[in-house]
A and B are shown apart, each in its own frame.
Chain A
Amino acid sequence: MTSSKPGTVTSSEPPTVAAGRRAPARKGKGGRGNPYPYLFYVPAGIVYTVVFLVPTVMAFYFSMTRWTLFDSTFVGLENFTDFFAEQNLRIGFQNTLIYAVTTSALKVVLGMALGVVLTSRLKMRGLLRSVVFFPVLVSTVAVGITFSVLLKPDTGLVNKALALVGISGPDWLGDANTALLSVALVDVWKGVGLATVIYIAGMMSIPRDYYQAVAVDGGSSWHRFRYVTLPLSWPATNSVIILSFIGGLRSFDLIWTMTRGGPGFTSDVIASIIYKQYQAGFFGLSTAGNVILFVVVTALVVPLTRFLSAREVSA
């Protein structure tokens, strides 16, 4: 869930590139409005309507029904009140926030550090970049299963390695205190590659002149980082935060494969609570949960995006 669509990598580029490419084409064809008939939108529009708009609208309806797949009874807002009465909802919200904040913070810090290292002159830089990016390519479920095995208390590689240096590691995923954080760290391991790539792209687009200016002023490498790289890679930071924060809020697959929200309810997040309701056959209730999740994610992300893009302009 933490990884995003590959397309978002390019979104940190200045938008003018794309716009500039489109502009001449528009003018070339007579210059009066859109040269292409709206008919051209139809194929994409139909697909979008059928696979996205219709189900979304239906979801809003079904969230207000008691739905068994065989029939549905309209119950108004009852599902929403039931969802908010869910006993573990508070833990779920708390965990979701902890998870989203931890993973995005670590991805920013580690991604930036790796970005700086991998844009410097290194031997085998290409290889190292691939190595860092590799976990992003692996299926999240496979990562979850692999790490569940690695983190086993007695037989897992992690605790065996710790035992070599005399530390007796905990039951990472079976202990209520460490379960959620263990999953979050695995999420960071898997997602940091993407953050790094975004940072590399951002840092490569910083004009060399600034670094030369620092060099002329006799600045150290710390100065280069503090006064050039850090502020000028703000668009990259912005993308990384937004992507991993949204990913963290919606995160599900890794948590589900590694702990299933357990032990007990200690690593439940909103998405896993919703999934369990769906599993229980409470289709209306879980749809209501999804509608709420949709609203919550929007309510958190829209202001965050505004705040971050405001910073971007001033930077």
Chain B
Amino acid sequence: MKTTRHRLGVAFFAALPLLSLAACGSSGGTTAADGSVTISFLYDNGEASVNAAKALVQGFEAANPKIKIETETRPAGTEGDNIVKTKLSTGEMNDVFWYNSGSLLQALNPGQTLVDLTGDPVIKDVEETYLPVVTQGGKVYGVPTGTATGGGILYNRKVYEKLGLQVPKSWAEFTANNDKIKAAGLTPVISTFKDTWTSQLFVLADFFNVQAASPTFAQDYTANKAKYATTPAALTGFKRLEEVHAKGYLNKGFGSANLDAGIKLLAEGQGVHYPLLTGVVPGFLGKFPQLATDVGYFALPGDDAAKNGATVWEPSASYIPKTSKHLDAAKKFLAFIASPAGAVAIGKGTPPAGPYRIKGATLPADAVQVAKDLQGYLDKKEAAPALEFVSPVKGPSLENITVAVGSGLTTAAEGAAQYDKDVEKQAKQLGLAGW
């Protein structure tokens, strides 16, 4: 869950614990005799992030020949979180690092560890609506790096065409589609519980529908007044998860299947719906080029077809630690990242999976289908940020609980109650008010 909560837009690739510490050397920048400066840039080792970061560095160095950038990778997911925290707390953080926005940034103690960018020209091209997810205590700390990603259902358009199906807007329509797909001998819903984070989408990506039905949920939830188990709209996500398993929509061996296997099923059309994030797609284009055109995205259907929309994860951001000795060069790099030229450079390495949050940066005409579909929801203003961008409260065990509910081991009500307890533990550990 940590993974989902943060790795959006880019890196969903399992990182072997083995590799995690190997990459953790110290990395200060240097100034050479000829006045050129070398700074270092840390990002995660998911294929999409690596390609994006390399393209970004190339673009920047071409425009700024006096500044060289050394790159360093770290594991994605929770191993990466701990490396970032360790580097910051020991003062060994790279001059610029790429890390999640939203609730995970709050855990880095930005006031103590990061350079304040409020009012700095560095952020002039950043869309104002993005800033809250990189802000703590009224101060802005990062610039969006990469694209937003949509949570919902990735579906195989070829199969939809062949079976004559329409994109569903309500749960009833979705179920009807699933029945037809099943009757055609294909897998209606792909689940890959070996990569546990992929099990959470029915709950997390349902947030647009939750807030449409219960507009104050995020606020009440943060204040310890609303619970998943006792708010019917919020409980629905768990029920959906239970239902797709009970109706036998899942692929065989879902318990030990991983993300790669799920993408293969989807790309080759044996599986038709995959509850996932659009940000996963670019990383797999090398292996399955047909993903660019054959796979589309629709928001998780809710009870009310009139109030359906996409749940969106904001892009991760790049930050400068207070310990950086090359603040000017680092700021130049950040300014480049948060400019239309930077967006173009990133797009060369990793095709966008959703909109950039930079003024003047638009999706290219040949963008992957899922990105276009997501942009469609945003253009119609039928989109809302995921809960983790509007509330700091998130329990760490959601992904295990959703695996249990999605495998029929735990009922939806029980799972939601377990998650409420898990959230309470997190809130207490964070020392949040009201818990």
Contact = CB atoms under 8 A, between A and B. Distances in A.
Interface string B410-435: 10000000100110011011010000
Contact of A263 (B79, B404, B421): B404
B253 A280 contact: no
Contacts of A173: 194, 255-256
Contacts of A266: 404, 409
Interface stretch (B84-92, B228-236, B274-282, B313-321): B84-92
B256 A151 contact: yes
B400 A174 contact: no
A87 B404 CA distance: 14
A263 B407 CA distance: 8
Contact of A70 (B112, B256, B403, B431): B112
B341 interface: no
Contacts of B404: 263-266
Contacts of A69: 85-86, 88-89
Interface in B113-152: 113
A204 interface: no
Interface string B98-118: 000000000101001100000
A115 interface: no
Interface in A229-285: 256, 260-266, 276-282, 284-285
Contact of A152 (B253, B403, B409): B253
A171 B403 contact: no
Contact of B409 (A66, A68, A171, A264): A264
Interface in A56-108: 66, 68-71, 73, 82, 86-87
Chain B CB count within 10 A is highest, among A172, A174, A175, A277, for A174
A151 B257 CA distance: 11
A153 B256 contact: yes
A176 interface: yes
A176 B407 contact: yes
Nearest to A83: B425
Chain A CB count within 10 A is highest, among B78, B410, B429, for B429
Contact of B89 (A70, A82, A153, A154): A70
Contacts of B78: 279-280
B174 interface: no
A48 to B, nearest CB: 23
B407 A70 contact: no
A247 B17 CA distance: 20
Contacts of B113: 70
B383 interface: no
B102 to A, nearest CB: 14
Interface string A169-212: 00111111000000000000000000000000000000000000
A287 interface: no
A263 B409 contact: yes
B325 interface: no
Contact of A260 (B81, B196, B252, B401): B196
Contacts of A66: 429, 431
A165 to B, nearest CB: 20
Given A174-B254, A174-B257, A281 B107 contact: yes
B420 to A, nearest CB: 11
B255 A175 contact: yes
Nearest to B422: A87
Contacts of A277: 396
A279 B3 CA distance: 11
Interface string B5-28: 000000000001110000000000
A141 B18 contact: yes
A153 B18 contact: no
Nearest to A179: B255
A174 B256 contact: yes
Contact of A264 (B2, B88, B403): B403
A148 interface: yes
A262 B196 contact: yes
Contacts of B255: 171, 173-176, 262-263
A279 B79 CA distance: 7
Contacts of B257: 174
Contacts of B256: 148, 151-153, 171-174
A277 B17 CA distance: 16
Interface in B373-417: 396-397, 400-401, 403-404, 407, 409-410
Contact of B400 (A71, A154, A265, A278): A265
B252 A154 contact: yes
A68 B109 contact: yes
A171 B261 CA distance: 15
A279 B82 contact: yes
Contacts of B194: 173-174, 262
Contacts of A86: 425
Interface string A134-151: 000000010000001001
Nearest to B113: A70
Contacts of B431: 66, 73
A176 B253 contact: no
Contacts of A263: 193, 255, 403-404, 407, 409
Contacts of A278: 82
A285 B425 CA distance: 10
A280 B107 CA distance: 11
A264 B396 contact: no
Contacts of B425: 82, 86, 282, 285
B409 A261 contact: no
A176 B409 contact: yes
B429 A285 contact: yes
B381 to A, nearest CB: 35
A82 B17 CA distance: 27
A174 B193 contact: yes
Contacts of B401: 264
Nearest to B107: A281
Nearest to A70: B109
A280 B109 contact: no
B66 to A, nearest CB: 34
A43 B265 CA distance: 59
19 contacts: A69-B89, A87-B421, A153-B252, A153-B253, A154-B252, A154-B253, A173-B256, A174-B194, A263-B193, A263-B407, A264-B409, A266-B409, A278-B82, A279-B82, A280-B426, A280-B429, A281-B81, A281-B396, A282-B396
Q: Which 5 A-B pairs have the closest CB atoms?
A: A174-B255, A264-B404, A280-B396, A174-B256, A153-B253
Given A82-B428, A262-B400, 10 more contacts: A70-B85, A70-B89, A87-B422, A256-B17, A263-B193, A263-B255, A264-B403, A264-B404, A280-B78, A281-B107
